[in-house]
Amino acid sequence: MIVVHHNPNCGTSRNVLAIIRASGTEPVIIDYLREGWTRPQLLGLFAAAGLTPRAALRANVPEAEGLDNADDEGLLAAMVAHPILVNRPIVCSPRGVRLCRPSEAVLPLLACPPPADFRKEDGSPLAA
C-alpha cells in the first residue's frame, strides 16, 4: 500500500500522484490541508523519511513568517496549527518514506516504474 500526503493545488504533488497511478497502483490519498497533522504523526513521518522539521518546512508561505529562529518544537507546533507549512508530497510505501520533491524522488518507492513515455502535467518527461 502506498499513502500520499497530498496537496491537490500543488503541481509536484499532482505529478507524484500521476506517477504512482501510472505505475499501476492506486494510493491512499490524504489531503493533509483538510485533515491536518498531529505532532506524533509528523514526528513519525519525519523520522521515517530522515527529515528534521526544518528540512520539511515550507518556508515560502506567509504562515512561515517569524519561524526563522524557531526550534524543532516551535516548528512542529506551527505545522500542526498551519498544515500548509509542511512541504509536500510525503509518500509512504513498503520501500520507504520520502518527501518527493522533485516528483522523480517517488520512483525508488515504487514496485514498478511508470511507462517510459510518461509525461508530467507540463509535458516534460521524467528525469533519469
How far apart, in whole angstroms, are the C-alpha atoms of residue 91 and residue 105?
10
- Selecting among 10, 92, 100, 112, the annotated active-site residue is 10
Does the annotation mark 100 as catalytic? no
Nearest alpha-carbon partner for 80 in 45, 118, 37, 48? 37
Residue 91, SS3 per DSSP:
strand
**Residues with catalytic roles:** 10
